Structure 1
Amino acid sequence: MLLLIKNSRVHKNKRARKRRCGVLPVLDTRTWMYDFLKACKEQHLKNPYFIQCDVLCSSLKNLFPDISVEELHYHLLTIGLFEPSEWKAIEQTVYRMEKSSMWELVSQEYERLKRKWNGPEIPIIIFPIRNAHLTRNKNTVLKNGAAFKEAIFLFLSPDLQKEEIMALLAHEYNHVCRLAYLGKDEKQLSLKEALIIEGFGEFAVKELYGEKWLAPWINFYSFDETVEIWKKKFIPSLNIVGKEKYDVFLYGKNNRHLPKWIGYHIGFQIVDSFHSLYGPFKDGGLYTKTADEVIAGSTFRYES
């Protein structure tokens, strides 16, 4: 098991306070969406953008006291929240998500993962993803997730299979567990720590549900392609700190000669190769290894 709870008494007290305040791990955001729809109908002269901000994000203010509701709203829209202009389709979208028991599935799987990894309790917020009401095609983005120290966000489509939802949750909750173990948030991470966090998150998917449910970026590049980029671009930058500095390495950027999703790809390959060489590990022991230990024991070495 991952020993992530350093002070069980403190965390138990926090959990008790959360429950007294009515904060459950998986928030019932269905009622928020219906309130948003009702407000759009009743306030037809008001821009749905501001209604969405008021109805959905004001409810989250207590979880994110350090940023404004407007900032939170803007950020959620950039990472997958449905567009305010989609309000007429929300009732049908939420109905289809309810019919698939998505909130119940996430709640059950979250409890299983929390026990398995001895992880912290954290609110989980489910919203429809952008364009969830449109006909599915090969370019449709069906899901996205984001993990913060305050909460996990899951942006979902009604068309998802249950394994896709569980894999997304496991990836994001593994991030939360790793950050809790390190005692850091993402702003304090170095590039090498960010790579290993992403690698751990996706390897957890492989370990729990099998290779079928892994993200497509794990197979984007060959080892020969990747190791050259690793030597030239990543090794000299592994100790840079701060999300604004390391994100370009995770997502890739043409003018830096970094292909799309390259950091995610490398992170998974590092962890996967380390596990192949030294695993299996009992009771989640893999996830307590340091970034230096995993990199040094993988097929991606520090040597240039």
Structure 2
Amino acid sequence: MGVINTKNWFEHDKWRKKINEDVQRHLFAHGMARRNQQEIMKQLAEKNVWAFVAKKFMELKKEWDGPDVPIYIFPADATNRSLQHEFGGKSGVAFFDQLFLFLLPHVSNEHIYALLIHEYNHVCRLHADPKDERDYTLLDRIVMEGLAEHAVRERLGSDYVAKWTTYYTKEQLEQFMKKWLVPNLSLRLDDARYRALLYGSMLYPRMLGYAVGYEVVRRALAKKTMTELLTMTSEQIFFM
């Protein structure tokens, strides 16, 4: 499997015949382009992005002894303000058995690698803690995001981690954790508060769950390695 050659998938909307409709909706919701798809893919092909991602994927797979899943490179939505501000013009979606990267031509190889690290770390975590997506709690997601972004920091340094890792002080994060997250760790995706607490809202600080997850995993990494944490339960990591 590995990196799938998707360079021509957006000619005549061929990609829609290859990806089921439920997944399609998920992709659009997480930053895939709706317009200028072919032009973006053409420019990505000129950068030879597929070969770069394939090389880095093999390195990560070997280091983490991770699963061999198909990786699909698709165009990112250049008009998505959240995607540009919070995630640097790139995004991705990780499933148990496949991985999607949404990219724009101006994104550097280092930032593409950072995205691959983050999303493939998710895949490894999903394999270590397999269950139905509907059964993943807010606690699971918070820990998962913290693990993934620390994996980026370990390989590329703090210059390549997401902006949301710097939004708050340790003291603020401790307060946020006790006030808002600990009472709601068991929430599931079908509860409206799940997304509000994870991403922030009018009621909660921006990227709340992500930022707290990064702090939780920072503390855990003082006692365990990333490889060890990937196989531990979310509860063990959060309350370490």
Name the TM-score, length of structure 2 as normaliser: 0.89
Does 2:59 correspond to 1:112?
Answer: yes
Does 2:18 correspond to 1:59?
Answer: yes
Does 2:33 correspond to 1:82?
Answer: yes
Q: 1:190 maps to what in 2?
A: 137
Q: Which runs of 4+ in 1 moved over 4 A?
A: 137-141
Secondary structure of the corresponding residue to residue 32 of structure 2: coil
- Deviations along 1:226-246, one digit per CA (max 9) or x if unpaired, are 222211111111123x22333
Root-mean-square deviation (Å): 2.2
Secondary structure of the corresponding residue to residue 7 of structure 2: helix
Alpha-carbon distance change, 139 to 215 in structure 1, aligned in 2, over 3 angstroms: closer
Alpha-carbon distance change, 233 to 161 in structure 1, aligned in 2, over 3 angstroms: same
Residue 271 of structure 1 deviates from its aligned partner by 0.3
Q: 2:69 maps to what in 1?
A: 122
Alpha-carbon distance change, 198 to 141 in structure 1, aligned in 2, over 3 angstroms: closer
Aligned pairs, number: 234
Q: Work out the CA distance in 2 between the residues paired with 1:118 and 1:139.
A: 30
Q: Work out the CA distance in 1 between the residues paired with 2:200 and 2:23.
A: 25
Does 2:220 correspond to 1:269?
Answer: no
- Deviations along 1:30-56, one digit per CA (max 9) or x if unpaired, are 0212x23xxxxxxxxxxxxxxx4xx21
Q: 1:131 maps to what in 2?
A: 78
Which residue identity does 2:31 align to in structure 1? Answer: G
- Deviations along 1:224-283, one digit per CA (max 9) or x if unpaired, are 22222211111111123x2233332211121xx21111100000111012213x24x3x8
Alpha-carbon distance change, 194 to 138 in structure 1, aligned in 2, over 3 angstroms: closer
Q: Work out the CA distance in 2 between the residues paired with 1:149 and 1:138.
A: 27
Q: Which consecutive residues of structure 2, in runs of 5 or more, have no partner in the other structure? A: none
Determine if contact 1:179/1:185 at 8 Å carries over to the other structure.
no
Does 2:191 correspond to 1:251?
Answer: no
Q: 2:148 maps to what in 1?
A: 201
- Deviations along 1:196-222, one digit per CA (max 9) or x if unpaired, are 111111111111111111000001112
Q: 1:284 maps to what in 2?
A: 227
Secondary structure of the corresponding residue to residue 96 of structure 2: coil
Residue 140 of structure 1 deviates from its aligned partner by 9.4
Q: 1:151 maps to what in 2?
A: 98
1:228 to 175, 184, 209: 175
In terms of Rg, which structure is larger?
Answer: 1
Does 2:48 correspond to 1:101?
Answer: yes
Report percent identity of matched pairs: 31
Q: Which consecutive residues of structure 1, in runs of 5 or more, have no partner in the other structure? A: 1-23, 37-51, 62-68, 298-304
Q: Work out the CA distance in 1 between the residues paired with 2:30 and 2:138.
A: 21
Residue 109 of structure 1 deviates from its aligned partner by 1.1
Q: 1:26 maps to what in 2?
A: 3
Q: 1:66 maps to what in 2?
A: none
Q: 1:72 maps to what in 2?
A: 23
Which residue identity does 2:228 align to in structure 1? Answer: G
Q: Work out the CA distance in 1 between the residues paired with 2:237 and 2:29.
A: 32
Q: Work out the CA distance in 1 between the residues paired with 2:30 and 2:239.
A: 33
Name the TM-score, length of structure 1 as normaliser: 0.71
Q: 1:260 maps to what in 2?
A: 206
